[in-house]
Structure formats: C-alpha cells, structure tokens
Amino acid sequence: KTPLLQVNNLSKRFYAGYKGFKREYNQALSPVSFELNTGETLAIVGEAGSGKSTLARILVGAEVRSSGEIYFEGEALEKRNLKQRCKLIRMIFQDPNTSLNPKLTIGDLLDEPLKFNTKLDARQRRAQVVDKLRKVGLLPEHADFYPHMISEGMKQRVAVARALMLDPKIIIADEALTALDLSVRSQILNLLLKLQKEMGLSYIFVSHNLSIIRHFSDKVMVLHHGEMVEKATTEELFNAPKHEYTQRLIQELTLFSQKRHNRTLKKHG
Ligand code: ADP
C-alpha cells in the first residue's frame, strides 16, 4: 500500500558565511526518512534547535530542502509549488496571537487560504467559511469578529479552522498545544481528535514536550541536533527506548511526573 506521505533522505543546511575562503554551512537537518498513513498521527520530538521546525517548514513549502524527496500518495512533490502543497499539508503554529493577522476579521482570515482555489465564487467561499467555523465549534457570527475580541482558546480554534480551509489531508501542529493553558489545551486536543475521526486527517505533531504527545500519537520520531536518533511506535518508545538520548528524555519525564505526584500527595495529605 502506498503511504499518504513518504519522505526520503530529506535534509537542510543553511549557509553560514565564509570562514577564510571557505563557505560554511550549518546542517539544520541531517537526512531523515519516514512515512505517514491516512488517519495516523506522527510526533516529531526534540529540544530547541533540533531541526523540528525546519522539517515542518520544508513539508509545507515554507523552506526549500537541500536534498531528498517528498512523495504524496506516491507522487513527487515539487520543490517550490506552493499551490499544490497548500491543498495537501497545512500548518498550525504555537501562538495564534502571532499567526493570525490582527487587522483581519475571522471571516477574512479564513477566506484568505481560499485564494489557492480560484474555482469558488463569493457565495461558495462564504459557505466554506461558515462550515469550517462550525467544525471547530464556533458560530457563523464569529466571522465578523477580530482576533482581539475572542479568547485564547477561540483564537486557536480559528487557527485550526484556517488550516482546514482547503480540506488538506495532513495538518502539522508546531507546538500548537504547548503554550496553551491546561484546560484550553485539552479542549483543542479533543477538537483535533474529533476532526481526525470526522475527516480522516493525518497529523504531524511537532513538540519538545513528550508528555503531550504520549497519549495520542501513533508513532514518534526523535530528533537531536538535526539528526534522527530514534523512530518507533509510541508504545515501543515509551516502553523500550533504544537510543541513549531517548532513554534520558523518558527518564526525565518520569522523574518530573513523580515529583508532581509527590507534591500533590503532600498538598492533599
Ligand atoms: P527546532 O524547531 O527544533 O527548535 P529549528 O528547525 O528551528 O529547530 O532549527 C534547527 C537549526 O537550524 C538551528 O541550529 C537553527 O539555528 C538553524 N536555523 C533554523 N532556521 C534558520 C535560518 N533561516 N537560517 C540559518 N539557520 C537556521
């Protein structure tokens, strides 16, 4: 069976200036390969600077890769064709306050991605906007609001709706849950799970936080200094991590949750 997304030896280096007469490069991402099937969730885990965002940005076409191939349903994705890319893979970012233009109404924010689909007239576009607002638990009336008029959780719902506008197959969430308050975080998480079931979406969750991805990703890829150190199902990774670096990450997570547990015990007697 052909995977939905197949990535072969994808890498990225950034030009870092001259050292003497030699051009220097910074290897942000060493060759990585992975695949993603329909309805699956892949987590990409790593510390700051490990290459997670670079990988995500290459997938959505916001960055040009240095090497490697990307296949979508067996067909090669071109290096620069944004229009083709936007219909397949869309991204949700960490902070809706920076990812949503404050000068646009929610309706205009949602309408914007539709410019990649020129076949729709104004009425059809409006219908799309209303449909996506409903899908993320907002009302048609919210189309006339500006981002500053709604709560943080609602803003992140708008970011999700915006990502859904072209009916993509894959959504990449780049730390999209990390910055949210715990209660809002679980709301957005539940929304994403509901949408996955309804629409058969595949997710790529980019996060430095292992505990967030533990309970809902099917498989995990661990990056460290731009190198892939481990790729496993989530269960395998948490039960029997193979790489020393991953073992340390999981140990730290366990220690952390034990500490928290002990604190709770103390507080409540
Ligand atoms: P992460 O998302 O895991 O924090 P990034 O993908 O942002 O990591 O960064 C990986 C490496 O690539 C870092 O060393 C970073 O400094 C470098 N990098 C990222 N973007 C650029 C850029 N536009 N120009 C030069 N170096 C970059």
How large is the average pLDDT for residues 55-83? Answer: 87
- Pick from 11, 13, 27, 54 the residue to mutate for probing ligand 1's pocket: most ligand atoms within 8 Å of its CB: 54
pLDDT exceeds cutoff 80 at 140:
yes
Q: Which residue has the higher pLDDT, 268 or 45?
A: 45
- Pick from 23, 26, 221, 245 the residue to mutate for probing ligand 1's pocket: most ligand atoms within 8 Å of its CB: 26
Contacts of 213 (CB under 8 A, 6+ apart): 43, 45, 205, 207, 220, 234
pLDDT exceeds cutoff 70 at 106:
yes
At residue 93, the pLDDT reads 87
Residues with CB under 6 A from ligand 1: 14, 26, 28, 46, 48-54
Using the mean position of ligand 1's atoms as its centre, give its distance from the Cα of residue 213 in Å. 22
pLDDT band at 269 (very low <50, low <70, confident <90, very high): low
Degrees, nearest 5: CA angle 120-111-145:
140
The residue whose two tokens read 């003497």 is 20
At residue 118, the pLDDT reads 73
Beta bridge partners, 76, equal: 71
- Residue pLDDT, tens place only, 233-242: 999 999 999 9
At residue 215, the pLDDT reads 80
- Residue pLDDT, tens place only, 18-47: 888 899 999 999 999 999 999 999 999 999
C-alpha to C-alpha distance for 213 and 220, rounded to whole angstroms: 9
pLDDT exceeds cutoff 90 at 109:
yes
At residue 98, the pLDDT reads 84
pLDDT exceeds cutoff 70 at 79:
no
Using the mean position of ligand 1's atoms as its centre, give its distance from the Cα of residue 49 in Å. 6
Q: Which CATH architecture has domain 5-268?
A: 3-Layer(aba) Sandwich (3.40)
Ligand 1 closest atom vs CA 12: 12
C-alpha to C-alpha distance for 197 and 174, rounded to whole angstroms: 20
pLDDT exceeds cutoff 90 at 252:
no
Q: Whose CA is nearest to atom 18 of ligand 1?
A: 28
Tokens matching residue 111: 């309408």
The type of residue at 217 is: S
ipTM over 0.90: yes
pLDDT exceeds cutoff 80 at 204:
yes
C-alpha to C-alpha distance for 206 and 32, rounded to whole angstroms: 15
Q: Whose CA is nearest to atom 20 of ligand 1?
A: 54
- Residue pLDDT, tens place only, 45-65: 999 999 999 999 999 888 999
Ligand 1 closest atom vs CA 63: 23
C-alpha to C-alpha distance for 8 and 24, rounded to whole angstroms: 25
